[in-house]
Amino acid sequence: MDIIKVKDHEELNSVAAKIVIEKVKKNPNATIGFATGGTPLGTYKKMIEDHRQNKTSYRNIRSFNLDEYVGLTPENPNSYRFYMEKNLFSHIDIQKSNIHFPDGTKIDLERECTNYETSIKRFGGIDLQILGIGRNGHIGFNEPGTPFDSQTHIVELTPSTRQANARYFMSINDVPTHALTMGIATILKSKEILLLAFGEEKTEAIHRLMTGDIDEKFPASVLQKHPKVTIVADSKALSEVIASA
Protein backbone atom coordinates (compact mmCIF):
# COMPACT_ATOMS: atom_id res chain seq x y z
CA MET A 1 0.00 0.00 0.00
CA ASP A 2 1.31 3.44 -0.84
CA ILE A 3 0.38 6.20 1.57
CA ILE A 4 0.40 9.83 0.53
CA LYS A 5 -0.04 12.10 3.53
CA VAL A 6 -1.45 15.50 2.67
CA LYS A 7 -1.73 18.60 4.84
CA ASP A 8 -5.29 19.61 4.03
CA HIS A 9 -8.31 18.97 1.83
CA GLU A 10 -6.96 21.24 -0.89
CA GLU A 11 -3.80 19.16 -1.21
CA LEU A 12 -5.80 15.92 -1.10
CA ASN A 13 -7.87 17.15 -4.02
CA SER A 14 -4.81 18.15 -6.08
CA VAL A 15 -2.89 14.95 -5.40
CA ALA A 16 -5.89 12.70 -6.13
CA ALA A 17 -6.88 14.62 -9.26
CA LYS A 18 -3.30 14.41 -10.53
CA ILE A 19 -3.32 10.60 -10.16
CA VAL A 20 -6.57 10.32 -12.14
CA ILE A 21 -5.45 12.82 -14.80
CA GLU A 22 -2.11 11.03 -15.29
CA LYS A 23 -3.95 7.74 -15.72
CA VAL A 24 -6.28 9.24 -18.34
CA LYS A 25 -3.39 10.88 -20.21
CA LYS A 26 -1.46 7.63 -20.26
CA ASN A 27 -4.48 5.64 -21.34
CA PRO A 28 -7.20 7.76 -22.99
CA ASN A 29 -9.39 4.61 -23.19
CA ALA A 30 -9.10 3.85 -19.48
CA THR A 31 -12.01 2.49 -17.49
CA ILE A 32 -12.39 4.50 -14.31
CA GLY A 33 -14.47 3.51 -11.30
CA PHE A 34 -16.00 6.55 -9.62
CA ALA A 35 -17.16 7.06 -6.04
CA THR A 36 -19.59 9.53 -4.53
CA GLY A 37 -19.82 11.04 -1.05
CA GLY A 38 -18.27 14.24 0.25
CA THR A 39 -14.63 13.17 0.07
CA PRO A 40 -14.02 13.04 -3.72
CA LEU A 41 -16.00 16.21 -4.50
CA GLY A 42 -12.93 18.48 -4.51
CA THR A 43 -11.00 15.97 -6.61
CA TYR A 44 -13.70 16.19 -9.26
CA LYS A 45 -13.52 20.01 -9.11
CA LYS A 46 -9.79 19.87 -9.79
CA MET A 47 -10.37 17.51 -12.72
CA ILE A 48 -12.89 19.97 -14.16
CA GLU A 49 -10.44 22.87 -13.75
CA ASP A 50 -7.72 20.86 -15.45
CA HIS A 51 -10.09 19.86 -18.26
CA ARG A 52 -10.86 23.54 -18.88
CA GLN A 53 -7.29 24.75 -18.64
CA ASN A 54 -5.27 21.88 -20.08
CA LYS A 55 -7.92 20.20 -22.21
CA THR A 56 -7.37 16.74 -20.72
CA SER A 57 -9.90 14.69 -22.63
CA TYR A 58 -12.27 12.09 -21.20
CA ARG A 59 -13.89 11.43 -24.56
CA ASN A 60 -12.89 7.83 -24.75
CA ILE A 61 -12.82 6.88 -21.10
CA ARG A 62 -15.49 4.61 -19.68
CA SER A 63 -16.93 5.11 -16.24
CA PHE A 64 -18.48 2.64 -13.83
CA ASN A 65 -19.85 4.01 -10.59
CA LEU A 66 -19.54 1.99 -7.43
CA ASP A 67 -23.11 2.13 -6.28
CA GLU A 68 -26.60 3.60 -6.52
CA TYR A 69 -29.62 3.81 -4.26
CA VAL A 70 -32.57 1.56 -5.00
CA GLY A 71 -35.63 3.49 -6.17
CA LEU A 72 -34.01 6.82 -7.08
CA THR A 73 -34.17 7.90 -10.72
CA PRO A 74 -31.25 9.76 -12.38
CA GLU A 75 -33.33 12.96 -12.12
CA ASN A 76 -33.59 12.64 -8.35
CA PRO A 77 -31.05 15.08 -6.83
CA ASN A 78 -30.11 12.47 -4.22
CA SER A 79 -29.29 9.77 -6.73
CA TYR A 80 -25.62 9.10 -7.31
CA ARG A 81 -26.20 9.44 -11.02
CA PHE A 82 -27.40 13.02 -10.44
CA TYR A 83 -24.39 13.68 -8.18
CA MET A 84 -21.95 12.54 -10.86
CA GLU A 85 -23.64 14.58 -13.60
CA LYS A 86 -23.69 17.68 -11.43
CA ASN A 87 -20.21 17.37 -9.97
CA LEU A 88 -18.23 15.95 -12.87
CA PHE A 89 -19.73 14.43 -15.99
CA SER A 90 -21.63 17.47 -17.29
CA HIS A 91 -18.42 19.53 -17.07
CA ILE A 92 -16.07 17.23 -18.99
CA ASP A 93 -16.23 15.65 -22.44
CA ILE A 94 -17.08 12.08 -21.40
CA GLN A 95 -19.58 10.51 -23.82
CA LYS A 96 -22.97 9.72 -22.33
CA SER A 97 -22.88 6.22 -23.81
CA ASN A 98 -19.65 5.49 -21.90
CA ILE A 99 -21.19 6.24 -18.49
CA HIS A 100 -22.32 3.20 -16.49
CA PHE A 101 -24.36 2.97 -13.32
CA PRO A 102 -26.22 0.15 -11.64
CA ASP A 103 -29.87 1.11 -12.17
CA GLY A 104 -31.76 0.96 -8.89
CA THR A 105 -35.10 1.58 -10.57
CA LYS A 106 -35.16 -1.70 -12.52
CA ILE A 107 -37.90 -4.19 -11.61
CA ASP A 108 -35.48 -7.11 -11.71
CA LEU A 109 -32.65 -5.86 -9.54
CA GLU A 110 -30.88 -9.23 -9.39
CA ARG A 111 -30.62 -9.27 -13.15
CA GLU A 112 -29.44 -5.65 -13.16
CA CYS A 113 -26.60 -6.63 -10.82
CA THR A 114 -25.55 -9.50 -13.08
CA ASN A 115 -25.71 -7.25 -16.13
CA TYR A 116 -23.57 -4.62 -14.41
CA GLU A 117 -20.93 -7.16 -13.54
CA THR A 118 -20.93 -8.51 -17.11
CA SER A 119 -20.62 -5.04 -18.50
CA ILE A 120 -17.54 -4.28 -16.35
CA LYS A 121 -15.94 -7.52 -17.57
CA ARG A 122 -16.80 -6.78 -21.19
CA PHE A 123 -14.76 -3.59 -21.02
CA GLY A 124 -11.80 -5.49 -19.60
CA GLY A 125 -12.29 -4.52 -15.95
CA ILE A 126 -11.60 -1.31 -14.11
CA ASP A 127 -8.19 0.29 -14.55
CA LEU A 128 -8.45 2.74 -11.66
CA GLN A 129 -11.09 2.60 -8.94
CA ILE A 130 -11.60 5.66 -6.76
CA LEU A 131 -12.88 4.86 -3.26
CA GLY A 132 -13.98 6.69 -0.16
CA ILE A 133 -14.50 4.87 3.11
CA GLY A 134 -17.44 4.72 5.48
CA ARG A 135 -16.87 5.06 9.22
CA ASN A 136 -17.77 1.40 9.68
CA GLY A 137 -15.28 0.38 7.00
CA HIS A 138 -17.75 0.12 4.15
CA ILE A 139 -16.44 0.59 0.62
CA GLY A 140 -19.04 1.30 -2.03
CA PHE A 141 -22.06 0.14 -0.05
CA ASN A 142 -20.45 -3.08 1.12
CA GLU A 143 -21.46 -3.05 4.73
CA PRO A 144 -19.72 -5.06 7.48
CA GLY A 145 -20.30 -8.78 6.97
CA THR A 146 -20.34 -8.60 3.16
CA PRO A 147 -18.58 -11.70 1.79
CA PHE A 148 -15.20 -10.96 0.24
CA ASP A 149 -16.21 -12.97 -2.83
CA SER A 150 -19.31 -10.82 -3.48
CA GLN A 151 -20.06 -9.42 -6.92
CA THR A 152 -22.45 -6.55 -7.68
CA HIS A 153 -25.44 -7.07 -5.40
CA ILE A 154 -28.38 -5.55 -3.54
CA VAL A 155 -27.69 -4.38 0.02
CA GLU A 156 -29.79 -3.30 2.91
CA LEU A 157 -28.12 -0.19 4.31
CA THR A 158 -27.20 -0.20 8.00
CA PRO A 159 -28.84 2.39 10.27
CA SER A 160 -25.43 4.07 10.76
CA THR A 161 -24.87 4.46 7.01
CA ARG A 162 -28.39 5.79 6.50
CA GLN A 163 -27.79 8.20 9.37
CA ALA A 164 -24.43 9.34 7.93
CA ASN A 165 -26.01 9.94 4.52
CA ALA A 166 -29.18 11.58 5.90
CA ARG A 167 -27.45 14.96 5.68
CA TYR A 168 -28.12 15.00 1.95
CA PHE A 169 -31.85 14.24 2.33
CA MET A 170 -34.79 16.16 3.82
CA SER A 171 -35.05 13.60 6.60
CA ILE A 172 -33.71 10.17 7.52
CA ASN A 173 -37.03 8.70 6.40
CA ASP A 174 -36.22 9.78 2.85
CA VAL A 175 -32.92 7.87 2.77
CA PRO A 176 -33.48 4.68 0.76
CA THR A 177 -33.21 1.46 2.72
CA HIS A 178 -31.46 -0.43 -0.08
CA ALA A 179 -28.77 0.13 -2.67
CA LEU A 180 -26.97 -1.68 -5.48
CA THR A 181 -23.23 -1.86 -5.11
CA MET A 182 -20.23 -3.41 -6.78
CA GLY A 183 -19.16 -6.27 -4.55
CA ILE A 184 -15.87 -6.65 -2.71
CA ALA A 185 -14.63 -9.07 -5.39
CA THR A 186 -15.63 -6.59 -8.11
CA ILE A 187 -13.63 -3.83 -6.41
CA LEU A 188 -10.63 -6.09 -5.77
CA LYS A 189 -10.43 -6.97 -9.46
CA SER A 190 -9.65 -3.33 -10.30
CA LYS A 191 -6.08 -3.01 -11.50
CA GLU A 192 -5.42 -0.03 -9.28
CA ILE A 193 -7.25 1.52 -6.32
CA LEU A 194 -7.13 5.09 -5.08
CA LEU A 195 -8.70 5.53 -1.64
CA LEU A 196 -9.31 9.00 -0.25
CA ALA A 197 -9.89 9.83 3.41
CA PHE A 198 -10.11 13.08 5.23
CA GLY A 199 -10.57 14.16 8.85
CA GLU A 200 -10.86 12.63 12.26
CA GLU A 201 -14.13 10.87 11.55
CA LYS A 202 -12.08 8.52 9.34
CA THR A 203 -9.15 8.00 11.76
CA GLU A 204 -10.38 4.71 13.18
CA ALA A 205 -11.43 3.39 9.79
CA ILE A 206 -8.04 4.14 8.22
CA HIS A 207 -6.27 2.55 11.17
CA ARG A 208 -8.29 -0.66 10.87
CA LEU A 209 -7.99 -0.68 7.08
CA MET A 210 -4.20 -0.54 7.25
CA THR A 211 -3.31 -2.46 10.39
CA GLY A 212 -6.36 -4.48 11.42
CA ASP A 213 -7.19 -8.12 10.75
CA ILE A 214 -8.40 -8.88 7.25
CA ASP A 215 -11.96 -9.64 8.21
CA GLU A 216 -15.37 -9.42 6.55
CA LYS A 217 -16.54 -7.55 9.65
CA PHE A 218 -14.47 -4.63 8.37
CA PRO A 219 -14.85 -4.62 4.56
CA ALA A 220 -12.03 -2.16 3.76
CA SER A 221 -9.47 -4.44 5.45
CA VAL A 222 -9.58 -6.58 2.28
CA LEU A 223 -7.60 -3.86 0.51
CA GLN A 224 -4.50 -5.16 2.32
CA LYS A 225 -4.63 -8.03 -0.17
CA HIS A 226 -4.67 -5.81 -3.27
CA PRO A 227 -1.30 -5.30 -5.00
CA LYS A 228 -1.78 -1.66 -5.98
CA VAL A 229 -3.57 0.58 -3.52
CA THR A 230 -2.74 4.23 -2.95
CA ILE A 231 -4.26 5.94 0.07
CA VAL A 232 -4.33 9.71 0.01
CA ALA A 233 -5.23 10.98 3.47
CA ASP A 234 -4.63 13.92 5.78
CA SER A 235 -2.76 13.75 9.08
CA LYS A 236 -6.02 13.54 11.06
CA ALA A 237 -7.22 10.48 9.16
CA LEU A 238 -3.73 8.98 9.51
CA SER A 239 -3.17 9.97 13.14
CA GLU A 240 -3.69 6.52 14.71
CA VAL A 241 -1.60 4.82 12.06
CA ILE A 242 1.20 7.30 12.72
CA ALA A 243 0.82 6.89 16.50
CA SER A 244 1.04 3.09 16.33
CA ALA A 245 3.95 3.04 13.83
Question: Counting contacts by CB under 6 A, is residue 176 touching ligand GLP?
Answer: no
58 or 198: whose CB is closer to ligand GLP?
Answer: 198
Query: Residues with Cβ < 8 Å from 49, sequence gap 6 or more?
Result: none
Among 30, 66, 237, 238, binds ligand GLP (CB under 6 A): 66
38 or 212: whose CB is closer to ligand GLP?
Answer: 38
- 20 by DSSP, 3-state: which? helix
Amino acid in position 1: M
58 or 69: whose CB is closer to ligand GLP?
Answer: 69
Which residues, listed in sequence order, are joined to residue 62 by a DSSP beta bridge?
Answer: 31
Active site residue 201: no
- Cα(88)–Cα(21) distance, integer angstroms: 13
Active site residue 13: no
102 or 132: whose CB is closer to ligand GLP?
Answer: 132
Q: In 3D, which of 100, 155, 145 has the Cα closest to residue 126?
A: 100
Q: Greatest CA separation found in the chain?
A: 50
Active site residue 76: no
Q: How many residues bind ligand GLP, per CB under 6 A?
A: 14
Q: Backbone phi, then psi, for 18, in 5-degree steps? A: -60, -40
Question: Counting contacts by CB under 6 A, is residue 193 touching ligand GLP?
Answer: no
DSSP-derived letter for residue 157 is P
Among 16, 32, 35, 128, binds ligand GLP (CB under 6 A): 35
DSSP-derived letter for residue 224 is G
Binding mask 135-174 for ligand GLP (x = CB under 6 A): -----xx-------------------x---x---------
Among 37, 102, 137, 219, binds ligand GLP (CB under 6 A): 37
Question: Counting contacts by CB under 6 A, is residue 39 touching ligand GLP?
Answer: yes
Question: Counting contacts by CB under 6 A, is residue 67 touching ligand GLP?
Answer: yes
DSSP-derived letter for residue 158 is P
Which residues, listed in sequence order, are joined to residue 193 by a DSSP beta bridge?
Answer: 129, 229
Active site residue 165: no
